[in-house]
Structures are given as C-alpha cells and as structure tokens.
Amino acid sequence: MAPEIYNLAQTPITSHAFSPDRNQLAVSLNTNDVQIYSRQGNEWAVAETLSEHDKLVTSIDWAPHSNRIVTASQDRNAYVWQEMPDPETGKLVWKPTLVLLRINRAATHVRWSPKEDKFAVASGARAIAICSFDSENNWWVSKLLKKPIRSTVLSIDWHPNNVLLAAGSADMKARVFSAYIKEVDERPAATVWGSKLPFNTICGEYASPAGGWVHTVGFSPSGDVLAFASHDSSISVVYPGGPVHNIRISSLPFLTLTWTSEDSIVAAGHDCQPVVFSGSEAGWQGIGSLDDTTAPKATDGVRSGYGGNTSVGRLKTGAFATFRDADSRGQSTISGSSSPSADTKLLTVHQNTITSVKPYEIQGDQVIRVSTTGVDGNLVIWDVATVTAGGASAMTARLGSTHLR
C-alpha cells in the first residue's frame, strides 16, 4: 500500500502524537504552541491551539488510555493537558496543569509511562525528571535522575514494566535506569535488566564503537532488548548479558526509531527515509526502506532529482550543472524552467530530515503502520510490510545513491 502523505505546514514539525482513536493529531510546528488537528476525510484541519509555553515546544506525548497530553518545552516547563468541559459553554477544551520539573535547562523529550501514572522528561540539565501525580496537593511532582549523566539527554523510552527507563544522551552513552517511585509503583518483578531496582539504579550503560550522540533509544515490545541509534551512522541492538549488535549504515545518521515487533525496527533520520532492520539475538541487518524511491509519485509525476539513481559521486548533473550553466552560458535553469523544483527535489517522500517515527496502528502484538514527521512539514503514514530492496548490499547502494550528489 502506498504511504499516506499529508503536508501539514511549510515549517518543520518538531514532534507529533496521535490521539487514541487516531482522529486527532497534536503537533508542534517549531513554535511555542501545540496545534491539535482533526481528521476531516482526507485532510487535517486545525481544531485547537494549546498556548501556554513561552519557548519552542520540543516534545509531545498523548496518553492512549487516559487521553491526556503532556508537552515539554525549551522554557524548562512541562504541562499536562486534560480535556474538560468549559464552565460557561460546556464545550470540551484542553486545560493545562503546570508540572514542577525543577530543571534549569530546556526540556528535550517527554514520554508517558505504560501505565500512564508517571511520565519522564529528558532535559539539557543533565537530568531526567520522573513526574508523578501527588493527589494530596493536586499537582505533578518530579524526582530527578542525575547520576551518571554527563550531558544533555536527547531521548527516553519506557520499559513495559513501568519502572525501567532507557535514555540516550549527548555524552555518547545509552543507559537503562530504574525510575521506581515508591508512592506509585508496586515492587517490580525481576527482569533481564536486574532484580533490585531502587530509584536511579543503573542497569546498563552502552556506547557505539565510533561514539556519537545517542539520538534515540527504544525498548523492544517485551522490554528484554534495547536498541539505540547514534550520530556515527549506526544502530545498536543490546541483549543484556549477551551480544551487542552494531550495524553501521552507509548513509546519514538516524534520529529516531521504533520497534514494530520483537524482531523488527524502523529507524529514520537525516537520510529522509524510514529503514527497516530485522534480526534476533544471533544478528541484525538492514532489510530495506519503506520508501520506494524508484516509484513515481502521483503528486509530481515522474520523480526526478539530481543524483538520480545512478552511480554516486557524479558531479556533472543537478546542482553542479545549474551553476556551471549559469556561469559559462549565463543560463539559469532555476528561473526559466517549467518545473523549478525538479532539480532540487529528493527522491524520497520526505523532503528533509525525519525527526520522529511513532507506531500508528497496532494489530495484536505487531505494529502494522508507523507515522513519521520531519523538517519538511510532512506527516507520512507508512505500511510496515511494504519494504523495498532486498539484501543489505542492495540497500547500501540505494542509500548511498540517494544521498550522494
């Protein structure tokens, strides 16, 4: 099935989150506000704007069971939004509750815990705030995970047991912490990550051989395996007490990943296309891209682009030719051309870095569709089963060719 493509804005989409019924979508369009879109047939229309933050909203998460939205921002605050009837009109509106994060740098990433009684906020203050609701005082309180984080925390992901938390950080490490809160959590059962888990226990610390900021982390559905992607263009899959598989890719680094089943991961980033990895404890490999870059796109007819699908390292086409013609012949292909974008359009669906990939539709224990948003302002919903290009070597060639021009 061809991917569903929606252009929400001409600005970057910093973060996106779907409502439980997937008819609404919360996005941050690189501003202080959060827009709630509702689906109207084949279009998305702005239904509401949540304005409370003073600075850029960095991350949004929508709790599927309790229907609450949490937003994190560079203003060092997080808000929990709840849909309530307006006292005057009786209409349902989103009401914010401020969370006392106690951090002195930007909040970078936020995620609800699986039971939705806690959430974690990553921050530039070398700390992760674990927030839980204090019903006596009717506010959200936070407890900070600090040691041994040495730099900005870029991403977090909860273990299904509601206690363990994975974090990827700019100090080039991916870590697994215990975020056990006495007042909220029952004593967790022993997992592969450890059995005694008081708050701030470090259950694991991992790095990619060539280093690089850890942009994204993710637990497998069972929680027994951890995957992380770092800025050295590699993705690592960690089996605690067992092997750590590091797959180097031939194209640009990934920024975001999600598990679609116990043996499959979708990762995306600077390469502008979601790539599927598959494997088990014995080994992992890239199996292809969800984006068929050779397929013609209905919207713009034949897909063209400099670089094309031919060999890499060619300089005589596309941008180079544009400048050479402008210089030697005084010709400008940009102004006179009938299709001005033809030369600068990428072969991928996303026209810029993908910053977020999330599970969209789940059937049984398999994610069958994922959604991506990126710097190009597009929202794309992909069918996970539609993988193009077979072997890893074929993918290498393809990835290389789409990016070198």
Q: Which 215-254 residues touch another protein, going by CB under 8 A?
A: 230-234, 248-253
Residue partners of 140: CB distance under 8 A and separation at least 6: 78, 80, 97, 98, 99, 100, 131, 132, 133, 134
Minimum distance from CB of 146 to another protein (Å)?
A: 10
- ω before 87 within 30° of 0 (cis)? no
Q: Which amino acid, one-letter code, is at 281?
A: E
Minimum distance from CB of 69 to another protein (Å)?
A: 34
Minimum distance from CB of 211 to another protein (Å)?
A: 5
Q: Which of 118, 181, 120, 193 is nearest to 153 (CA)?
A: 120
Minimum distance from CB of 127 to another protein (Å)?
A: 12
Q: Which of 10, 47, 53, 60 is nearest to 31 (CA)?
A: 53
C-beta closer to another protein: residue 4 or 171:
171
| Sheet of 174-178, strand order | 153-158, 164-169, 174-178, 202-206
Beta strands in 273-405 (DSSP E): 275-280, 283-289, 354-363, 366-374, 378-383
114 is an interface residue for another protein by CB under 8 A: no
Residue 377 is encoded by which pair of tokens? 């302002």
Among 172, 238, 265, 354, binds another protein (CB under 8 A): 172
Residue 228 is encoded by which pair of tokens? 């992380």
- Per-residue x/- track, 296-335, another protein (CB under 8 A): ---------------xxx----------------------
403 is an interface residue for another protein by CB under 8 A: yes
C-beta closer to another protein: residue 166 or 275:
275
Looking at residue 321, the DSSP 8-state letter turns out to be H
185 is an interface residue for another protein by CB under 8 A: no
C-beta closer to another protein: residue 155 or 251:
251
Choices 89-97, 136-144, 208-216, 274-282; region in contact with another protein by CB under 8 A: 208-216
> By the 8 A CB rule, do 237 and 388 touch?
no
Among 92, 210, 295, 319, binds another protein (CB under 8 A): 210
Minimum distance from CB of 268 to another protein (Å)?
A: 15
> By the 8 A CB rule, do 257 and 229 touch?
yes
Minimum distance from CB of 253 to another protein (Å)?
A: 6
Among 65, 150, 196, 324, binds another protein (CB under 8 A): 150
Length of the chain: 405
Interface residue list for another protein (CB under 8 A): 126, 150-151, 171-172, 210-213, 230-234, 248-253, 311-313, 396, 399-400, 403-404
